[in-house]
Amino acid sequence: MPSHEFLPSEQPVQLLDQDGRRVEDAGRVFPSDEAMLRAHEELVVGRRINEQAYALVRQGRLAVYPSSYGQEACEVAAAMVLGDQDWLFPTYRDVVSIIGRGVDPVETLTLLKGDWHCGYDPTEHRVAPQTTPLATQLIHAVGVAHAATLRGDDTVVMAMCGDGATSEGDFHEALNFAAVFKAPVVFFVQNNEYAISVPLARQTVAPSLAHKAVGYGMPGERVDGNDVAALLSVLGDAVAAARAGGGPSLVEAHTYRMQAHTNADDATRYRADDEVEKWQDRDPLLRSEAYLAGCDLLTGERTAEIAARAESVATAMRDGLMLDVEPDPAHLFDHVYATPTPQLGEQAAFLADELSREGVS
Ligand SMILES: Cc1ncc(C[n+]2csc(CCOP(=O)(O)OP(=O)(O)O)c2C)c(N)n1
């Protein structure tokens, strides 16, 4: 394949404009009405999850929440394009994607409450634990994808990361290995313009993050990250190509983090209000709603059903996360290795001794 065929499109792929009107793109298939309705429902639920989690942080019920408010189209589409046999490797910001894969919201947020390891069983819904070290999950994702190839499974892996993570060594190692071994991975970069306070311009001078794929010998594509139709189409194609043996690809979504990096961050110190306001007009939720309303696909009844489901998810989050937890320090040592090492046993005994001497049983 000549290398120019790996190059991303000049402009990010868009199938819905800012006002929810269809944009024709000869090379892309527009999602079905059913998929658009489902995506809209997931967007509404995702927004509600972000709002509720933020409120729980303010009530001291979650230690921290890296919100994906404004990025919900990326979150929803990443989960929707995967099949049951596939794996999702999320970052700390991808709570809505994880819940989209079927993981219980309370279990998903258990880690951010400060309790019990990753909070869920990764094998149940094929969702890896959320990682805080940037880009480390990309290497794990490639390992799982390569293992699937060796076993002859048709598993595809969605490996998520942010724009800042593309500067990490692990990002480059993961892409190179995946390309050389034709691993069935979709590297999905949510470019939300900032790595905490560092703007994209200080992260790279490449024409786009998707261009980075070309250097490794895999296709790169850019997509409007607030257009759920375009995301479903582009990510869907990338997953299909990987499943068909085409190897890895990189998709860069252009989106924006509307809220602070986490509750511990003051975003007003490094970005201007008018920049944030500009992105409000590109809200993914308003866009899908305008599209569906414009083609009479969204009935009042369906809107009410969606709102009720979003509310019941929020209620379950409040009920489950309001409970006080008392983590057992001994659980720190569980699940570190499948077979615990003698050193780990010594450390566990050391901790147990310390705790008993301090009167903590
Ligand atoms: C290996 C590593 N280096 C530094 C950090 C500190 N850190 C936490 S979040 C963050 C910014 C990440 O930005 P990005 O990858 O764009 O993701 P976003 O938070 O915007 O979703 C940094 C530098 C870290 N967690 N891990």
Active-site residue, selected from the candidate residues 125, 146, 222, 261: 261
Give the number of the atom of ligand 1 that is nearest the alpha carbon of residue 196: 11
For the stretch 125-176, pLDDT in tens is: 999 999 999 999 999 999 999 999 999 999 999 999 999 999 999 999 999 9
What six digits make up the tokens of 121? 């069983």
The pLDDT, as a whole number, for residue 1 is 55
Give the number of the atom of ligand 1 that is nearest the alpha carbon of residue 165: 15
Distance between Cα 88 and ligand 1 center (Å) = 19
Residues 6+ apart with CB under 8 A from 124: 103
Residues with CB under 6 A from ligand 1: 93, 132-134, 162-165, 168, 192, 194-196, 257, 261
pLDDT of residue 308 exceeding 60, the answer is yes
Secondary structure string (H, E, C) spanning the chain: CCHHHHCCCCCCECCECCCCCECCCCCCCCCCHHHHHHHHHHHHHHHHHHHHHHHHHHCCCCCCCCCCCCCHHHHHHHHHCCCCCCEEECECCCHHHHHHCCCCHHHHHHHHHCCCCCCCCHHHHCECCCECCCCHHHHHHHHHHHHHHHHCCCCCEEEEEECHHHHCHHHHHHHHHHHHCCCCEEEEEEECCEECCEEHHHCCCCCCCCCHHHHHCCCEEEEECCCHHHHHHHHHHHHHHHHHHHCCEEEEEECCCCCCCCCCCCHHHCCCHHHHHHHHCCCHHHHHHHHHHHCCCCCHHHHHHHHHHHHHHHHHHHHHHCCCCCCCHHHHHCCCCCCCCHHHHHHHHHHHHHHHHCCCC
For the stretch 31-82, pLDDT in tens is: 999 999 999 999 999 999 999 999 999 999 999 999 999 999 999 999 999 9
Please give the backbone phi and psi of residue 82, each rounded to the nearest 5 degrees, phi first: -90, 150
The pLDDT, as a whole number, for residue 37 is 98
Residue nearest to atom 25 of ligand 1 (CA): 133
Residue nearest to atom 20 of ligand 1 (CA): 195
For the stretch 215-242, pLDDT in tens is: 999 999 999 999 999 999 999 999 999 9
Cα 266 from Cα 196, distance rounded (Å): 10
The pLDDT, as a whole number, for residue 360 is 78
Return left, alpha or beta for 323; rule: phi > 0 is left, psi -120 to 50 is alpha, else beta.
Answer: beta
If you search the block for the tokens 């800012």, which residue do you land on?
18
Give the number of the atom of ligand 1 that is nearest the alpha carbon of residue 71: 21
Torsion over CA: 119, 134, 270, 78 (sign): negative
Lowest mean pLDDT: which of 92-106, 174-188, 267-281, 316-330? Answer: 316-330
Distance between Cα 194 and ligand 1 center (Å) = 9
Task: Place 361 in a pLDDT band, splitting at 50, 70 and 90.
Answer: low
pLDDT of residue 3 exceeding 80, the answer is no
What six digits make up the tokens of 36? 């658009």
Distance between Cα 195 and ligand 1 center (Å) = 6
- Residue, of 6 and 44, whose pLDDT is higher: 44
Give the number of the atom of ligand 1 that is nearest the alpha carbon of residue 163: 16
Residues 6+ apart with CB under 8 A from 298: 37, 40, 289, 292
- Residue, of 310 and 27, whose pLDDT is higher: 310
Out of 196, 270, 271, mutate this one to test ligand 1's pocket (max ligand atoms within 8 Å of CB): namely 196
Active site residue 22: no
The pLDDT, as a whole number, for residue 98 is 98
Q: Does this model's pTM top 0.75?
A: yes
Active site residue 4: no
Out of 132, 134, 209, 257, mutate this one to test ligand 1's pocket (max ligand atoms within 8 Å of CB): namely 134
The pLDDT, as a whole number, for residue 116 is 87
Give the number of the atom of ligand 1 that is nearest the alpha carbon of residue 132: 25
Please provide the average confidence, as pLDDT, over all residues in the chain.
96
- CB of 221 within 8 A of CB of 19? no
Residues 6+ apart with CB under 8 A from 286: 20
How many C-beta neighbours within 10 Å does residue 58 have? 10
Active site residue 270: yes
For the stretch 236-287, pLDDT in tens is: 999 999 999 999 999 999 999 999 999 889 999 999 999 999 999 999 999 9
Q: What percent of the chain stands above pLDDT 90?
A: 91
Taken as a whole, the chain contains a residue count of 361
Cα 223 from Cα 74, distance rounded (Å): 10
